Amino acid sequence: MEAINIALFGLGTVGAGVVNLLQENANELASRAGVRLNVTKALVRSAKKARGCDSSHIAFVDNADAILNDETIDVVVELIGGTTDAFDIIEGALKAGKPVVTANKALLAERGTELFALSCETKTPLLFEAAVAGGIPIIKTLQEGLVANRIEWIAGVINGTCNYILSTLARTDAEFDDVLAQAQAQGFAEADPRADIDGIDSAHKISLLAAIAFGTQVDFAHVDCEGIANLSRVDTDYAGDFGFCVKSLALARRCDNGELLVSVSPTLINKSHLLASVSDEMNAVMCQTNMLGPSFSMGRGAGSLPTASSVVADLVDIVRHRENAQRFALIHPVVTADAGFSEDALAKNASPYYVRLRAQDKPGVMASLTQVLAGAKISISSMVQYPLDTQTVDIVLLTHMTTGQAVSQALGSLSTKMSEIDELVHYRVADFLY
Ligand code: NDP
Ligand code: HSE
């Protein structure tokens, strides 16, 4: 049987998963792809490191050209991460006419325009299923399965590390840093885990999904992005009392005024909603489209084998389309049309909000709060007071529909006016999910 020779740039968590998967499912893959998929070369930083897979058949090289100039290599898989060396590798591979598979969402969100253009110019495929939601085939779903639909919105829990942290904190007394360390030990986190907890990784991913779904470039640097580092356990507990759980939710949505909203933020989701049941490193993506209506995909969003599942799916696609690679290379997210992406769409777009105010328990605090909200035309739908001790109280409320802008301004003016206030937080409630 014919064999395809694959070179891996990077043999860490995902790279080892690819080697293990190709070994474990070799026979199924050979019959489905019609060829054998062999990893023959790899570039890593340290050739001496233990690899978490059988690498005895792989020749380790110490420079990229040893792969890019090797005519026996048919396909390149980039799994080193980062936006510099990885860019050079993919650029070099495409120029050499070698199809590329990558899981590198940071690179594609930040510098994808150049690489996708090069892929079109060189008529060489650049595939990236693993870059969003790990093992869930969401890129293929959007590019192929939903191609006949107009997408209204996409909402996703698309960072395994954040979801692992939030769901572990919700069911145990563990500390944030310890749970993050567990996520790192299991290979879910980025090399710099601040990319996960600050929401940047989700922002990379939702930018890519929005580009595909809405046919536009989304300037990643301007995606409205709030992480989970400042989310306090009291807020997840109080949200629970109101019937919600808090998820790091990525959203790409066409607003009523036509603007395209792309955001990542801690968001309250009704406990009975499917997205609320997504726990640990699981990811889920929900799409609302004009013909199918709602659809929901769930699966492991991080980790060695789930991510390898998507990488190898791309390899099989490349093999299946190799007679027609030039056409295949044209399936890309970047279209230059202006789809109305707006940096402040989140703040302007109406939603209910969760608000918590921690204050000294003195007469007038509640009156000032309700007065300020009324002045901003923010209507309260429910409110509970949680005394913390004899002197301090948490006042927690849910609003009816309002805007983030109105809530921020009202709370800002309240904290300037009242020295009794210690903390003020607000989070969006995802009312549009069904
Ligand atoms: P790891 O850190 O586990 O592995 C990175 C690999 O790349 C290592 O083998 C490392 O070598 C090698 N490497 C790093 N920099 C260089 C360099 N400059 N030159 C040569 N080799 C280099 O990362 P992951 O496997 O977790 O992630 C890889 C990519 O996949 C990233 O883009 C990540 O965002 C993405 N991804 C990861 C997922 C996950 O669950 N982990 C899920 C989805 C996507 P050495 O081993 O010698 O240090
Ligand atoms: N660090 C990422 C996450 C890996 O936790 O989701 C998968 O993209």
Closest-lying ligand 1 atom to the alpha carbon of residue 16: 25
Nearest residue (CA) to ligand 1, atom 42: 302
Residue, of 257 and 190, whose pLDDT is higher: 190
Atom 4 of ligand 2 has which residue's CA nearest to it? 302
User: 129: Cβ below 6 Å to ligand 2?
Assistant: no
Beta bridge partners of 285: 156, 297
Q: Of 111, 135, 118, 157, whose CA–CA distance to 18 is shortest?
A: 135
Model pTM score: 0.96
Task: Compute CA distances 109 → 29, 43, 103, 159, 400, whole Å.
Answer: 30, 24, 11, 15, 35
Please report the pLDDT score of residue 150 as a whole number: 95
Residue 331: the pLDDT is: 64
Establish whether residue 302 lines the binding site of ligand 2, counting it when its CB lies within 6 angstroms of any ligand atom: yes
Q: What are phi and psi of 294, to 5 degrees?
A: -80, 145
Q: Which residues pair with 392 in a beta bridge?
A: 360
* Residue for token pair 């295949």: 328
Specify whether 185 is located in the same domain as 281. Answer: yes
CA of 13 to the centre of ligand 1 (A): 7
Residue 332: per-residue pLDDT: 63
Banded pLDDT at 349 (limits 50, 70, 90):
confident
Q: Say if residues 346 and 263 touch (Cβ distance below 8 Å).
A: yes
The H-assigned helical ranges of 225-303 are 233-241
Res 329: pLDDT: 67
- Give the CATH number for residue 359: 3.30.70.260
Name the CA dihedral angle for 119, 320, 15, 1, rounded to a multiple of 10 degrees.
Answer: -130
pLDDT score, position 145? 95
Query: From residue 182, how far is each of 177, 178, 290, 374 by CA, in Å?
Result: 9, 6, 41, 45
Domain harbouring 263, CATH code: 3.30.360.10
Which of 142-151, 179-188, 218-227, 270-279 is predicted least confidently?
218-227
**Same-domain pairing of 313 and 174:** no
Residues 180 and 290 in one domain: yes
190 CA distance to ligand 1 centroid (A)? Answer: 9
> Is the pLDDT at 51 greater than 70, yes or no?
yes
Q: Is 132 in the pocket of ligand 2 (CB under 6 A)?
A: no
**Ligand 2 atom closest to the CA of 158, numbered from 1:** 6
Query: pLDDT tens, 376-393?
Result: 999 999 999 999 999 999
Q: Does residue 335 surpass a pLDDT of 60?
A: no
Local confidence band at 186 (pLDDT 50, 70, 90 cut-offs): very high
Closest atom of ligand 1 to CA, residue 190: 34
Given a contact cutoff of 8 angstroms between Cβ atoms, the answer to whether 334 and 116 are in contact is yes
How far does residue 277's CA lie from ligand 2's centre (Å)? 18
Spell out a b/e string for 25-54, using b for 16 or more CB atoms within 10 Å of the CB, else e. eeeebbeebebbbebbbbbbeeeeeebbbe
Please indicate, yes or no, whether residues 64 and 107 belong to a single structural domain of this protein.
yes
Cβ neighbours of 197 (radius 10 Å): 23
Domain stops at, among 345, 371, 405: 345
**Do residue 60 and residue 118 come from a single domain?**
yes
Domain check: are 393 and 315 in the same one?
no
Give the ligand 2 atom nearest the CA of 164.
5
- Give CA–CA dist 374/221, Å, rounded: 35
Asked if the model's pLDDT at residue 73 lies above 70, the reply is yes
Cα of 168 to ligand 2 centre, how many Å?
Answer: 16
Q: Is the CB of 207 under 6 A from ligand 1?
A: no
Residue 156: the pLDDT is 98
| Cα 37 off chain centre by | 29
Q: Which listed ligand is nearest to 301 at the C-alpha?
A: 2
Distance CA(285)–CA(307), nearest Å, equals 16
- Same domain as 148, residue 98: no
- Which atom of ligand 1 is closest in space to residue 281's alpha carbon? 40
- For residues 56 and 152, membership in a common domain is answered with no
Is the per-residue pLDDT at 199 higher than 90? yes
User: Is pLDDT at 341 greater than 80 in this prediction?
Assistant: no
Residues 144 and 261 in one domain: yes
Cα four-point dihedral sign 102, 107, 112, 115: negative
Domain count across the chain:
3
Question: Residues 281, 164: contact at Cβ < 8 Å?
Answer: yes
Examine the fold and report which residue of 288, 321, 345 is the final residue of a domain before the chain moves on: 345
The answer to whether 336 and 120 have CB atoms below 8 angstroms apart is no
- Same domain? For 294 and 162 the reply is yes
pLDDT of 278 higher than 90? yes
Q: Which domain holds residue 205?
A: 138-300+340-345
Residue 273 phi, psi dihedral angles, 5° rounding: -80, 150
Distance in angstroms (rounded) separating the CA atoms of residues 277 and 274? 5
Provide the H-helix boundaries in 69-159.
Answer: 85-95, 105-122, 138-140
Task: Indicate the range of 150-154, 186-190, 222-226, 327-331 predicted with least confidence.
Answer: 327-331
Residues 220, 310: Cα–Cα separation, whole Å: 23
Between the CA of 81 and the centroid of ligand 1 the distance, in Å, is: 5
Whether 205 sits among the annotated catalytic residues: the reply is yes
Catalytic choice (41, 98, 105, 205): 205
Element housing 205 (H / E): helix 200-214
Residues 287 and 161 in one domain: yes
Cβ of residue 378 lying under 6 Å from some atom of ligand 1: no
Q: 323 and 283, same structural domain?
A: no
Q: What is the CATH number of the domain that holds 100?
A: 3.40.50.720
With a 6 Å cutoff on the Cβ, whether 188 touches ligand 2 is yes
Dist. CA 211 → ligand 2 center (Å): 19
